[in-house]
Every structure is written in C-alpha cells, then in structure tokens.
A and B are shown apart, each in its own frame.
Chain A
Amino acid sequence: MATATTTDAQKTFDRSKIPTLGPPSKVSLPPIVTRQLSNGLKLMIVEQHEIPVADFILVVGGGGTMDPSSKGGLANLTATMLTEGTTSRTSLQIADQIAYLGVSLAAGSSWDASTLSLHAPTAQLDSALALFAEVALKPAFPQEEFERIRKNRLTDLIQLKDRPTAIASQAYASILYGSEHPYGHSLIGNEGSVNAISVADLKAYYRSNFLPNNATLIIVGDVKPAQIERKINAIFGSWQRGSVTPFTFGAAPKAEATTVYLIDKPGAAQSSFRIGSIGVPRSTKDYFALNVLNTILGGSFTSRLNQNLRETRGYTYGARSAFDMRRSAGPFTASAEIVTAKTDSGLIEFFKELNAIRDTVPAVELNKAKRYLQLGLPGEFETSQQIASQLVPVALYGLPLDYYNNYVQRIDAIGQADVQRVARQYIDPKSLAIVIVGDRKSIEAGLRAVNAGPLSIRDFTGRPISQ
C-alpha cells in the first residue's frame, strides 16, 4: 500500500477557517424522453447507463381516494392482488419467477394512484418485462388467494393498535376529515370495510381504473429509448382503452376552533403528538413557498421544531412538520414523540413555534432553507430507482417535463414576504386539531393546565368516548 507523507500543504493552513467553496455544480437532470402508444399509454424514458439495471413504474390514476366509504382499502387490496395470480400463472409461480430472475416486482397504492414497480438487471430484461406486463394486464384475482390476503390485512390492522404512532396518525386523519371524506379513512381500510370487500369489487376497481389512457409507464436505466419503446409496444400495445372515472371528493369539513384530542395508551413511555389542520392540494400555486416555509419550520434536522424540542430541550428524539399534498388538500401536520413527563411542556413549545413562524423569518434562515432545497436536489437523482420515483408526481399531477430543471429558479424567487404570507394563511394556531396518544393518567392534568383548547377524550379510532 502507498503511504502518503505529510506535505507543506498541511503545515501552512489555518484550521479555523471554513474551506472556501467552489461554485455550485451545475444541476443537470437527465433528459426525459416521452412517447405515447396508440392506446393512450404514456411513456417517460430516462437513460442511465451506470450499471446494467433498469427500473419501471407503471402509474395508474385512482388510488385510495376512489374507495367507497364502506369499502375503505379497496384500491390497496386490488394492487396487492396483482401479484397473487394471473390468467396463466399462480401466485406461487409468480413469486418463483421473481426470485429466480433476481428481480423486484411490487405493487402498491397511494391516495392518487396504484403503482406497479419492477427493478431488474438488464440481463433478465425480457423475461422480467413479460412478467411485469402479465401481472399488470392479466390479473385473475383468485378467491382463495384473496381470502389469504384479506387475513393478512386484518392481521396488519390488529398490529397497528400496538403502535402509538400509528394510532395517532390514523386518529388524526379521522378527526381532521371526518368519516364522510375519503382522507378520513385509512388507505388499508378498517376491519369492517376489509370484510365487506369482495373479489367482484376488486375486479370492478381494476376495470374502471387500469386503463392505458389512465396510466404512465416510467422507465429509467440501462435502456435505449427506441428499443425499449418497441418492446413496450409489443407487450402493452394491445391493452384496451376505456373511459376514465373522474375523481370525486367529499366536501372537507369546516375547520373547528383549536381542540386537544387525548387518546389513552396506558403505560406509554412517550406521548405521540399530531398537530395541524387541512392543508393544500398538490396543485397549489404556493407549492414552492410552502416548501421553503416547511423546511424552516420542521422539514429538516436544523428546523425550528427539531432544534427547539430535541437539541435545546431534549424532550424528544425528533420533531418535524409536513404538508402532505395530494390531488385534493391533504393534511398539514407537526409531529413528535415526546417523553411522557414533558407532554405539557412539549405542547407549549409546539405552540411557540407555530406562532413564531407567522411573525418573522430572518433572511439568514430563509437563505439556509432555500440552499438546502436547491443544492440537495441532485442527490435525489443518483440511482435509477430514485429517478423513477421522482418522476411519479410529474406523471400523476401533470407537472411540466422541465419541472426539476426549473426547480432551483422557482425556489430562488421565494422571498421573506412570501413565506410570511403562506405561514399566516395556512397555519392558524386558533384552528388546530391536537391529537395526543399517551398515558392519560400521567398527562391529562398537565394538558388541561396548558389550556390550548377544550380537551376531548377519544378512542383509538378518534371517536368520542364518555369522559
């Protein structure tokens, strides 16, 4: 091994000086090639030849928002069942084929879409794509496999009750949106809704949403656009178009005055906080201002919430905030797991920060947040999997193809006045839902003393119970 010896360079430098930095590297995100098959299926292709793998994500509009209120979890179960049997392969044969090819093939769903993702070495590309297309286009929804998957889901629902964090998140959604609105439900449904779903429901969901004119196939990796388009056309070209059901949303309930909702979890070592209100849809014109705002408030390690609650006071392992943006307005949520003995003090600090962000954002802090967002962008485009998942919102929300190339400029344009305006518009301390899951006998008196708002005792699902 070579040994490097001490040089003059190290003797003459001043360690107390932060290194002078070169100019920022130019952000050049890979070009996206788009195509459309004659049946309406859109393709977005990005070449990346670093290593011989390719990633595919089929994004199909729909998702949990389309679940009928008595059948919450339908979109999720439909996606899960895609890999549980096709017209020519059983569930086990699919699992075998995935394994022997050494590929990943996974189906999932969000509020706004179902996704089917494939990650494959290019050496196995043809066989992997054949399996991918078969699962996407020819699912059989076998009854026996469905009963097994239903049992899995019911078991998952039982296990959620063991986790205070999961209880808090679910109760928060149902308190914020109510049971009439789709966002008030869980994406995986509840015991009643999962039991109410039949194979006929899955097939109906599949038929009305899995249409080429309601889908985009994202392709990233060691492929050539012309060649891959031919392959895709050969296997997805016969997919029949149909009429797409428009999204419908229940009306979001009117905001209420700030209320503390307390859910008892006897013996919990920490109190799970979820604080916030209904936020904004992904289409909001304030997207960039809100991104900057949230970065300052609770969107990074050095944000105000984490700095205060963790680094200054030591109440928590981490505090954060987020605007969950969907096709319709998703929740704004500030959250943390706070040590039981500091539950009341933690609530006071949350309020301090939620008030302070409306007052002032110094230029230094604003610029730090902007640089964090701008300079961090290239790091989100390193692997083919990352690039493919960054393109999902572009496909789903109709963002321009040069969206990421203009991202830095759009963030640049955000000033102090913009941040202050959106803070005042979207964070109203007089109208917050405060959900706290914790050891009631230890924390109730303290919470009442803070007097952030009336206190309402709720059960695990967020429903009122007698106090």
Chain B
Amino acid sequence: MRIPIEKFRLDNGLLVTLSEDRTAPIVAVNLWYHVGSANEKPGRTGFAHLFEHMLFQGSENVGANEHFELIQRAGGTLNGSTWLERTNYFETVPSNQLALALWLEADRMGALLPAMTQKKLDTQRDVVMNERRWSVDNQPYGTWWEKLPTLAFPESHPFHHSLIGSMEDLSEASLTDIEQFFATYYTPDNAVLSIAGDFEPVDARELVIRYFGSIPRGKGKPALPPMDLPPTFGNSPRLVVEDDVSLPRMYLAFRSAAFGSDEYYAASVCGAVLGMRRGSRLYRSLVRERQVAADVSAFTFDLSKGSDLLIVDVTARPETTPDQLEAEVGREIDALFSDGVTSREIQRAIALIQTDMITAMQSASERADRLSMFATYFEQPELVNEQAAKYGSVTVDRVNEFIRSRLGRENRAVLLYIPKANADADAGTNGNLIGAAAP
C-alpha cells in the first residue's frame, strides 16, 4: 500500500508534508523539531525533555494550559515526546478543527517566550522530577534506559547521557536556558510539519502559510560532536546493578548500523528473529523449551546518526540465577553467530514486521508521525512508502552478514539486574563497569 504524499517548503525553511485520507472525519497534525537529548549541554541533562513540558505552558496568544483546554474541548487528543535526536508534538482533531491545531502550534513556535515565567518553570520541573520518579526510580529495572546508553556509548558521545536527566541537572535549569534553547532549536528551519487524514490539501496549504509563514528562520544550530563510532565495541562492557526486584533481568546491547541504512533493515529483521513475539528464537528456546526465562524481547533504538543499538531484554524465571541467565542468553547468541538464521525465520520476521507496518498506517496520527520522521532525518517523507519493500528485500545472506559483523563477543554490552537479596554473592562487581572481554 502507498499513501499519497505532497511536500513543500516555506521561505523560512519549514518543511511541510501532507497526506490526504478521507476514511475517518479526523485529521492529525504532527510537528517534529530536530532536537533531542543529544543536543544538550554538559550539566543540563534532561533539558530537551523539560523543555518539551514548557511548550505546553502557553505562548503569546495562548494561556497557560490553554493548548490542552482548546484541543480537548474540540474533541481532540494531543501530546508530545522527546527522544535522543528529536522532539515531537502532535494533535488529532475532528476534521473541522485543523485550523485550531495549526494556530496553536504556530503560536508557540512563533512566540513562546513572552509567556514564560519562573513559576511555570518551577512547577514543570517538579512535574518532570515526578515523571522521573514514576518512570525510572519507582519502577522495577527503571534505570535501564539511562544505564544502557552509558555502557554502549563513550562518555563524550551525544547518546551517552540520560534522556530524562538527573535530579541535579534538572534543579539547575534556568529561564535563560529556556530562552537559549528555544531560540536555537525551535525554529521553522529546524522543524517538519505533517498533516494526515481528512482535509483539503489546498486549504491546508493556505492555513500553513498563513500561520507559519511569518515566523523568522533561525540562526543555525551548533554542530553535534562527532557521532561516528567503530562498528563494534571492541570488548564486552558489563554493568551489574542491584535493584529492588524479585527476578534477575539482563539487557544485551549490540552496536548496530544507523536507522535507514541497508544494514539497519537487516539488523531490524535479526531483532525480530531473536525476540519478536512468541514464535521468535529466544522466546522458543529460553521461555518455552528450556524455561529459564519468564519473558524476552528484542528491538532497535532507531537512532539515525552515528550508531544504532540492537537490544535484547530477558527476564529470568524465579529458579534461574543471574549467572545462568547470562550464560543461557550468551549460548543462544553464540549459536546464532556460528550457524546464522534460516530462511523460515526470516520469512516469519518479515511477515510480522510488514503486517505491523500496514496496521500502523491505518492511523492518521501514525502516518503523520512517520512522514515527519523520514522528512526530519532524511528530508524524504516519501520513504514511508518504501519501507515494506525495504524489509521485503532483506535476505538470509544479508542478515547473516549482519550477524557475523555485529553479534560477536567483541560487541556485546551487558547490563545485568540482580535482586537486592542476592547482592552479597556478587558484591565484587556491583555497580562496577568492567571493560574486559567476557569469559
């Protein structure tokens, strides 16, 4: 299936993509800013995400919290999210409310700062700290998504540090930081606007020009430090963490090719072979046959610059020790490394990925998000329509080539969570980063 795509660029640099579909009387508006935690300054971790919250606090013509009020009153849904390389904002509204959604997005892109106050910053800082407590500190294994990147990326690398940030850095964030961040990154030439669903393209184009056309272009953003990394870690970095959990869990990360490259598609299929749903290799062997694991999954982080990660996540059964868990997962990866995949495994993985993709495209919101993603990373929203074919052309040989070059022992970062009660037995390694090759 192919979706219709129009694209154009305003004089101020804003890239716009449109995809019309009249199935349901709703329209999705989606704005990606090409800025994420990778763009943060040292000592300001978590700032991109804190800033995402501030964008809902009103702008010159929109009162505090009015963005949510107006969209919800119109029967719409909305939110925003922050990732390592981008921040996005999105609304899905009844078709006749397209102008409202565009007006709201334009007002904050054009005029956020007049509405900023210290009090708003202080409250949202508290909210974000509570988000951190909720998603990281008070969640079993919740620290994994800040600990794994520290293992997998060197300290100076933009992907190394925590996305949600440390409590200390969040406390330090000031209004001046807000102003600088806004002026540097929240500019039309650093953004992509996508509209998908039930709308008239001619009208939408007119509205976009009216609301966004007069917003001045930015002055450019600082270049990121070099992102390129060698294809493998060159060793097996390893971190053992004791946590308030009942069962051990292991995260295994492989440095992998960046999102969108040919090798990325092979990596993605390999991930599905390993851990996508119940027919996958690791589920069958570790959960079903050997019954040493309670659950398993595998996925990529989809990073478009430098290096991506392929991650395997396995939770132990109550009777499985951390050592056994690590050994069993290692044995499976070794077997994959030496024997490769079968064509039936590839066929299964591609079928599942393609069905998921088609299903996602039913949703206007998903469609707009993917258009923005491909436009932001590659300036080519049309790539949305080429994904199924790219997956379809992944072969056994290409996946095996990926496996031989990336899944060896010199490219496995291990993050192992152990229950606190078990901590004494492993006291020597707790919290220590061990760079030596695994035995």
Contact = CB atoms under 8 A, between A and B. Distances in A.
B209 A10 contact: yes
Nearest to B96: A22
B362 A317 contact: no
Interface in B396-419: none
Interface SS, A side: mixed
A21 B96 contact: yes
Contact of B68 (A51, A103, A301): A301
A381 B61 contact: no
Contacts of A316: 127, 130
B406 to A, nearest CB: 24
A375 B97 CA distance: 10
Interface string B88-109: 0000101111011011001100
Interface stretch (A240-248, A265-273, A326-334, A397-405): A265-273
Contacts, number: 245
Contacts of A377: 75
B363 interface: yes
B134 interface: yes
B348 A99 contact: yes
Contacts of B8: 1-4
Contact of B76 (A5, A151, A158, A376): A376
Interface residues of A, number: 87
B355 A375 contact: no
Contact of A302 (B65, B244, B246, B363): B65
Contacts of B221: none
Interface string B231-273: 0000000000000111100000000000000000000000000
Nearest to A23: B96
B75 to A, nearest CB: 2
Contacts of B361: 51
Contacts of B284: 92, 95
Interface stretch (B30-38, B136-144, B168-176, B181-189): B136-144
Contacts of A301: 68, 72
Interface in A1-19: 1-7, 9-11, 13, 15-16, 18-19
A126 interface: no
A151 B206 CA distance: 60
Nearest to A303: B72
B317 A155 contact: yes
B245 A385 contact: no
B23 A6 contact: no
A317 B134 contact: yes
B244 A162 contact: yes
B352 interface: yes
Most chain B CB neighbours (cut-off 10 Å) among A16, A48, A95: A95
A372 interface: yes
B297 to A, nearest CB: 15
Interface string A424-466: 0000000000000000000000000000000000000000000
Nearest to B347: A100
A390 to B, nearest CB: 13
B134 to A, nearest CB: 5
Most chain A CB neighbours (cut-off 10 Å) among B198, B210, B318, B354: B210
Interface string B352-392: 10110011011110000000000000000000000000000
Contacts of B218: none
A18 B351 contact: no
B355 A102 contact: yes
Contact of B355 (A2, A21, A121, A162): A121
A382 B26 contact: yes
Interface in B189-214: 198, 205-206, 208-211, 213-214
A253 interface: no
Contacts of A151: 291, 317
A103 B358 CA distance: 12
B61 A15 contact: yes
A361 to B, nearest CB: 15
Interface string A14-48: 01101111111111100000000000000000001
Interface in B278-305: 278-279, 284, 288, 291, 294
Interface in A75-106: 91-92, 95-96, 98-104
Given A19-B100, A315-B130, A383-B363, A99 B138 contact: no
A148 interface: yes
A73 B61 CA distance: 54
Given A4-B9, A158-B246, A302-B68, A102 B351 contact: yes
A121 B214 CA distance: 45
A44 to B, nearest CB: 19
Interface string A345-373: 00000000000000000000000100111
B214 A10 contact: yes
Contact of B69 (A5, A155, A368): A368
A378 interface: yes
Given A368-B73, A382-B24, A337 B359 contact: no
Given A302-B72, A311-B65, A314-B123, A382 B131 contact: no
Contacts of A1: 7-9
A162 B245 contact: yes
Contacts of B11: 3-6
A382 B363 contact: yes
Contacts of B358: 51-53, 121
A382 B96 contact: no
Contacts of B364: 382
Contacts of B126: 313-315, 339
A409 interface: no
A48 B362 CA distance: 11
A198 B205 CA distance: 64
Nearest to B103: A19
B147 interface: no
B421 interface: no
A3 B140 CA distance: 50
Nearest to B315: A159
Contact of B94 (A101, A154, A375): A375
B110 interface: yes
Given A301-B72, A379-B76, A382-B362, A10 B210 contact: yes
B291 A99 contact: no
A9 B209 contact: yes
Contacts of A21: 74, 96-97, 99-100
21 contacts: A3-B10, A4-B10, A4-B16, A4-B205, A5-B11, A7-B206, A11-B214, A15-B106, A18-B61, A19-B99, A100-B347, A158-B318, A162-B140, A312-B123, A372-B73, A372-B75, A376-B72, A378-B24, A378-B25, A378-B94, A385-B362
Given A372-B72, A375-B75, 11 more contacts: A15-B107, A15-B111, A19-B99, A155-B318, A159-B247, A268-B138, A270-B134, A311-B123, A375-B73, A378-B75, A385-B362
Interface pairs A-B: 3 shortest CB-CB:
A375-B75, A314-B126, A102-B351
Interface of B: 1, 7-11, 16, 21, 23-26, 60-61, 65, 68-70, 72-77, 92, 94-97, 99-100, 102-103, 106-107, 110-111, 122-127, 129-131, 133-135, 137-140, 198, 205-206, 208-211, 213-214, 244-247, 277-279, 284, 288, 291, 294, 315, 317-318, 344, 347-348, 351-352, 354-355, 358-359, 361-364
